[in-house]
Amino acid sequence: MIGRMLVRLGRAVLPALMLCGATTATLQAAEPVKIGSFLAVTGGASFLGDPEKKTLEMYVDAINADGGINGQPVELILYDSGTSAKQALTFVKRLIEQDEVDVIVGGTTSGETMAVIREVEKAGVPFISLAGAGVIIDPVKKWVFKTPHTDRLAVQKIFDDMKARGLTQVALLSGSGGFDKSCRKNAQELAPEMGMTIVADESHGKGDTDMTPQLTKIKNTDGVQAFLYCGFGAPTSIVAKNVSQIGLTVPHYQTQGSASMKFIQGADGAAEGARLPVAALLVVDQLPDDHPQKQVATAYRDAYEKKYGESVSAFGGHAYDGLYIVAQAMERAGGTDKETVRTEIENTKNFIGADGVFNMSATDHLGLDTRSFVMVEVKDGNWKLLQ
């Protein structure tokens, strides 16, 4: 008997408990604007999700200190998806149904974002994704936007740079994560279009600590003119180290996944000479004074580094842009009506953010041009802008 009662009791009490846990909203004078977010703060993509979280928290405070949006305070409801698409979906339902957020800014990885699109579209909540894959906004979905450059554009930039140096035969190494695989796929697709050849295609596993076998294979492949690594996190540094250890001397390229000072520090000098596409934010000091992003990017970098004592990465920049695009759209909309806010996000014109200058439209839910994405080379332990 008691066992059954307990089961019944558990079933009945737990939802009630959840209700208590969930009502963390602090009572404020005016009805707050609710911005929902789900980020990969832990798990495989925490390297991206962590700065995104820090950025959102910092700027929501800043917006509130400035009197909020339309005079309403902003409440940030943020969940950690643990880099799991499954968790992401449940949290998005929670944001929409339970927390009744006005807008969602989040979705660190493409997998998490793709998993929630159906739900977001069904519920009709404006959603700005912080993930890279082009498929998020192509084809255009009514309620879905994104701020980071697409992975495809990054690979395009890299291939352009290789071609300018007369390199057409590329050896590829990629990790096994979503970002890595997406980059590899783009490289395979773009190569024939751009007159490049992939002559070697290697990969490494999750948590691998040594990539010298794969790199040795690449080194011994005939005709390799350039090397491209697709991945993020600690492996970016390990690859750079391994490349120099085994004496792979062809020009070395990585992606925006390596766009963090940690990459350079972790490689312990071995990253010198590596080239990668990064958001202009990272080389803001080297930008000409008339560069449209100079002011915004400098302010963001200084604020972030001052508050958190760590160097800024491009990932936090995505969150910055997502938050302010929403804030400005709401101001233009004069409220939080979802349909109007969505239309106003779509009407974003000349928004200068950390990722670049955004001009969205009904057919372009990213709206970034390529100017803000620049090629840099690692030189003397820092980024050097390539002209």
Q: Whats the size of the chain, residue-wise? A: 387
CB of 111 to other proteins, least distance (A): 4
Nearer residue to other proteins within complex by CB, 20 or 29: 20
Stretch that binds other proteins, among 87-95, 222-230, 251-259, 283-291 (CB under 8 A): 87-95
Exposure b/e, 191-224, CB count within 10 A at least 16 = b: beeeebebbbebbbeeebeebbebbeebbeeeeb
Residue 150 in contact with other proteins, rule: CB under 8 A:
no
CB of 268 to other proteins, least distance (A): 6
Q: What is the dihedral of CA 20, 23, 26, 32, to 10 degrees?
A: -160
Return the closest-CA partner of residue 134 out of 123, 144, 122, 119: 144
Residue 80 in contact with other proteins, rule: CB under 8 A:
yes
Q: What values do phi and psi take at 384, rounded to 5?
A: -120, 125
Interface residue with other proteins among 55, 64, 72, 84 (CB under 8 A) is 84
Interface residue with other proteins among 32, 266, 356, 367 (CB under 8 A) is 266
Stretch that binds other proteins, among 59-67, 104-112, 294-302, 316-324 (CB under 8 A): 104-112
Interface residue with other proteins among 208, 221, 250, 340 (CB under 8 A) is 208
Quick one: CA dihedral 214, 215, 218, 224, positive or negative?
positive
Nearer residue to other proteins within complex by CB, 10 or 67: 10
Q: What values do phi and psi take at 39, rounded to 5?
A: -130, 155
Residue 25 in contact with other proteins, rule: CB under 8 A:
no
Tell me how far apart the alpha carbons of residues 19 and 37 are, in angstroms, rounded to a whole number.
Answer: 19
CA atoms within 13 A on the CB side of 318: 31
Say how many residues touch other proteins, by CB under 8 A. Answer: 86
Residues of span 315-374 touching other proteins by CB under 8 A:
none
DSSP class of residue 233 equals S
Interface residue with other proteins among 67, 124, 192, 213 (CB under 8 A) is 213
Tell me how far apart the alpha carbons of residues 274 and 2 are, in angstroms, rounded to a whole number.
Answer: 66
Tell me how far apart the alpha carbons of residues 203 and 185 are, in angstroms, rounded to a whole number.
Answer: 12
Residue 46 in contact with other proteins, rule: CB under 8 A:
yes
Nearer residue to other proteins within complex by CB, 110 or 348: 110
CB of 349 to other proteins, least distance (A): 31
Residue 285 in contact with other proteins, rule: CB under 8 A:
no
